[in-house]
Amino acid sequence: MDRMIYTAAAGAARALEQQSVISNNLANVSTAGFREQVAAYRAVPVQGLPGLPTRVSTIASTPGSGMGQGAMMETGKATDLAIAGEGWFSVQARDGEAYTRAGDFSINAQGQLVTRQGLPVLSEDGAPVEIPERGALAFSGDGQITVLGAGDRPNDLQALGRLKLVNPPAADMRRGDDGLFRMAQGQAAPADAQVRLVAGFIEKSNVSPASAMVGLIANARQFDMQMKVIQDAGANAERANSILAVV
């Protein structure tokens, strides 16, 4: 079988992988704090085929994420938080500390501040944030947490600590299958006092629906082109066989 079939098949496989990434981005257009996935590919020369210097194949390179800021949406909810600019919230995942931009938090039955998935949000000392029952919660721009108990006077604010806000280099972070980010070497990122948040807002996904749809269509056409090459190669092989067939 002509080797061009294998080259085209590799290109078609990469197109299918890209289609999966774009489809996942589209599915998360409404997910708070979602970071657009980026799948990159590069051409590599086909080895061991002397006389065919123009024949190349493709391989997937390390996938990344778009780190641009998503639009801010005001909710007025006390436990909804959005990071202004760069930075991340720290949460306690099942395998250790992880990071997210999704600030649509809530308070669980145990009185802990948790993410949409039920993971505890961490304070600067690495412990879950405990909220007193029926307390009116407030967050300052630097992540300081205060609460006013039921029946307390306005000057009886109780300080609960400060959220752990981090801002490691994007190149040092990796996206997990659960959508959370972690440090590439598995260590915990240090707190960054320069990170700022806004209470009563959530950050929307940074995926552009229009750009994703254009990419989806362009990728589908690319896949069709690769399949057409495979069909043409098969047709050429059949014609060659018929010419060489012994009557």
What pLDDT does 14 receive? 84
Q: The tokens 């948040």 sit on which residue? A: 197
pLDDT at position 27:
92
When mean pLDDT is compared over 170-174, 202-206, 215-219, 223-227, the highest value belongs to 202-206
Choice among 2-6, 23-27, 132-136 with the minimum mean pLDDT: 2-6
Does pLDDT of 99 surpass 90? yes
Q: Which residue has the higher pLDDT, 90 or 50?
A: 90
Same domain, 94 and 161: yes
**Pair (52, 80) in one structural domain:** no
The answer to whether residues 29 and 99 belong to one domain is no
Verify that 57 and 145 share a domain, yes or no: no
Q: How far apart are CA 163 and CA 78, in angstroms?
A: 14
Closest Cα to residue 102, out of 125, 73, 137?
73
- Return the closest-CA partner of residue 119 out of 93, 143, 98: 93
Domain check: are 78 and 198 in the same one? yes
Q: What average pLDDT score do residues 90-106 get? A: 94
Start-to-end Cα distance in the chain: 22
Residue 38 pLDDT more than 80? yes
For residues 18 and 61, membership in a common domain is answered with: yes
pLDDT over 70 for what percent of the chain?
Answer: 88
Neighbour order of strands in the sheet with 173-175 = 165-166, 88-93, 96-100, 181-183, 173-175
Domain containing 51 equals: 3-66+207-244
How far apart are alpha carbons 72 and 82 in whole angstroms? 7
**217 and 148 housed in the same domain:** no
As a whole-number percent, the residues of the chain with pLDDT over 90 amount to 47
Check whether residue 47 and residue 87 sit in a common domain. Answer: no
Q: Would you place residue 93 in the very low, low, confident or very high pLDDT band (cuts 50, 70, 90)?
A: very high
What pLDDT was estimated at residue 48? 65
Pair 178, 211 in one domain: no
How many domains does the chain divide into? Answer: 2
76 shares its domain with 55: no
Residue 104 has pLDDT above 80, yes or no: yes
Report pLDDT digits (tens) over 122-167: 999 999 998 887 778 889 999 999 987 666 676 767 888 899 999 9
